[in-house]
Amino acid sequence: MNVPAATSTETEPRSLAGDKAQRIVDAMRSSVAKRGVAGSTFDHVAREAGVSRGLLHYYFGTKERLLTEVVRHDCNLRMALLDQQLRGAQTADDFIGLLAAWMKNMVDVTPDFIVVVFEMFTLAQRNEDISREYVELMRQPRETIARVLAAKQEDGVLKVHGDPEGVADVLLALGDGLGLRLIGEPDRDHESTMEAALHAAKSLLSNT
């Protein structure tokens, strides 16, 4: 029997949709948040997702590929929602408020996602393939926010004090740092920190 030669596409994750896919994504996200990437074996994830270990190997190949798919899946959902929300902003304060609410929601409702992103960042420092994936995944929120900022400025809704992409990067950097602070010290009152962050963010935008 002739066996087709291996191609580079065989290392890419196969398409998996439906309830099983969602259970696997949820199980991997939860496992990485609890155990880290090193401790999140396919055995753990398969058991928690209620699927076979072989299914994970077939569709994702490695847990690093699965981690990438989890972050991509969550980023796509969050970026679609953020884009929709930001387009409704009528002032600079609206824009900052909506962005802050979106970031706070991640900390309050889905802190596991933030932990998983930082786990992927750590892994990217040692893995070139994951590094390329991480850069691509980080590009999406920056370009989403920059695109809306540019459109709002063109429409006369607000003024951006700098290049829209650079401003978007700084806004996201503020969010990343706050995420670490809030999750790392959950029992501390962060109200003054949030106020200072909002003040810093508002210095980058103004009403026209």
| Domain map (residue ranges) of the chain | 66-207
pTM: 0.80
Residue 11 pLDDT > 70: no
Instruction: State which fold the 66-207 domain adopts.
Output: Tetracycline Repressor; domain 2 (1.10.357)
Buried-state track 70-103, b at ≥16 Cβ within 10 A, e below 16: bbbbbbeebbeebeebbeebeebebbbebbbebb
Residue 10 pLDDT > 80: no
Instruction: Determine the average pLDDT of the residues in 194-200.
Output: 92
Question: Is pLDDT larger for residue 204 or for residue 9?
Answer: 204
Cβ within 8 Å of residue 60, ≥6 positions away:
13, 14, 66, 69
Q: What's the mean per-residue pLDDT of the chain?
A: 86
Residue 62 pLDDT > 50: yes
Task: Write down the pLDDT at residue 9.
Answer: 39
CA–CA gap between residue 188 and residue 170 (Å, rounded): 24
